[in-house]
Amino acid sequence: MRLNREIIMSLWIVVALVVFIGVTGNPNRTDSPEADTADMLAHPNTVPELTEEETEILGQQDLLLKVDAEEDFMATGELNPNHYPAQRAAKVVQHYLNTRYGSPYRLFGLHRVHSGNAEDVADSGRKYHLEITAQEIISNTTEKCSAEVLFPRVEQQGSAQVQASCEELLKVNITAQEEALYQQYKNSPNLVSSQYLPDSHGHIDPDMRPFWHLGIVASSFIMLNESTENTLYNMAQVANITQQATENDQLKFDSHILLHDMVSQEIIHWKLLFTWSPPEGVKVLKMEKLPHCHNCEKPPEIN
């Protein structure tokens, strides 16, 4: 029985490595910070929290995550930082940071999970204690942070509670850029509107990049609210974003967001109505999950 399991595991690893070799390593690719950001945040099948060394064995690691997910799911005590339980909890910290501090010029990602442990909390749920490195992606600033994530029990139907402080990531001064963007679109007679950020080739017009960032920050409110111990969300695409008439000095946007749940492999459609201004940050007014629609026009395939 043990021999059969070892043979099966070996075959899975060989298959994963073959697939990995077939889909990575474009010799014609020119690396740039913008390309790296698009790869990390736009592609629904990427794992942005992996470091460069870990990305080299992405195929094998993805296999191990799937193989070990069941045995690790309700583990308590020390967790493997590369397996689903720790990664799921740490991803929620990323969404929390974006909802608290994100803007068109400040965007947070998960760079690495260093360690984690989980404990059952009576009458509350399961609490994860994490040591992570978070990244402010636009300035490429990283900081090691401690965080706690409490997932409520299923019957309580609440969102995850997060505590985290990453003060170094907030030291880059973005006031001038934010104010310039705000004044430009607050006073413009033409309301901005765009589709497919990024497009099927991973391209984003430079003028639309701040609105892509706003879409990511706004989608973090959904992902923070919806995340459980059974999910692992990324934002896949801003299918469309349209500026509305300004009210109360807030820029207002209606948007259609595509989320990717890496566990179920579903692409989930949401409508969002949100506002933004430099003093107030992003505020979500309405979020609506759209039903599956097999006859609807599909957005372009995301490479």
> For residue range 184-197, what is the model confidence (pLDDT) as tens digits?
999 888 999 999 99
- Domain assignment of residue 259, yes or no: yes
**CB burial of residue 162 (10 Å; 0-12, 13-18, 19+):** buried
Query: Is the separation of the CB atoms in 253 and 241 below 8 Å?
Result: yes
According to the model, what pLDDT value does residue 187 have? Answer: 86
Neighbours of 100 (CB within 10 A): 17
**Residues with pLDDT less than 50, the chain:** 1-72, 296-303
Q: Sign (positive/negative) of CA torsion 267, 87, 140, 213?
A: positive
In a domain, 134, yes or no: no
Distance CA 150, CA 159 (A): 9
Which has the closest alpha carbon to 49: 90, 96, 102?
Answer: 90
List, for residues 86-141, the tens digit of each pLDDT value.
999 999 999 999 999 999 999 999 999 999 999 999 888 999 999 999 999 999 99
- Pairwise CA distance, residues 267 & 49, whole Å: 20
Position 185 in a domain: yes
Residue 170 falls inside a structural domain: no
Q: Is residue 13 part of a domain?
A: no
Q: What is the pLDDT, as a whole number, of residue 294?
A: 56
Whether residue 49 lies inside any domain: the answer is no
Q: How far apart are CA 64 and CA 62, in angstroms?
A: 5
Which tokens sit at 291? Answer: 């039903």
Residue 23 has what pLDDT?
Answer: 32
Does residue 210 have a cis peptide bond before it, meaning omega lies within 30 degrees of 0? no
SS3 193: strand
Residue 270 belongs to a domain? yes
Per-residue pLDDT, 11? 41
Query: 124 in a domain, yes or no?
Result: no
Range of the domain at 232: 175-289
Residue 277 Cα to chain centre, angstroms: 22
Q: Which residue has the tokens 């459980």?
A: 228
What pLDDT is stored for residue 75 in this prediction?
A: 72
Contacts with 193 (C-beta within 8 Å, 6 or more apart), sequence order: 240, 241, 242, 243
Position 8 scores a pLDDT of 41
Per-residue pLDDT at 264: 87
Helix and strand counts by DSSP (H, E) for the chain = 7, 10
For the whole model, what pTM was predicted?
A: 0.75
Q: Where residue 261 sits, what CATH number does that domain have? A: 3.10.450.10
Instruction: Report residue 170 as tokens.
Output: 């907030």
Going by C-beta distance under 8 Å and a sequence separation of 6 or more, which residues neighbour residue 250? 275, 276, 277, 280, 283
> What's the rounded Cα separation, in Å, for the pair 62 and 281?
35
Q: How many domains in the chain?
A: 1
Residue 110 CB partners (closer than 8 Å, separation 6+): 48, 49, 90, 91, 93, 94, 132, 134, 135
Taking the chain, what is the end-to-end CA distance rounded to the nearest angstrom?
41
Coil/strand/helix, residue 16: helix
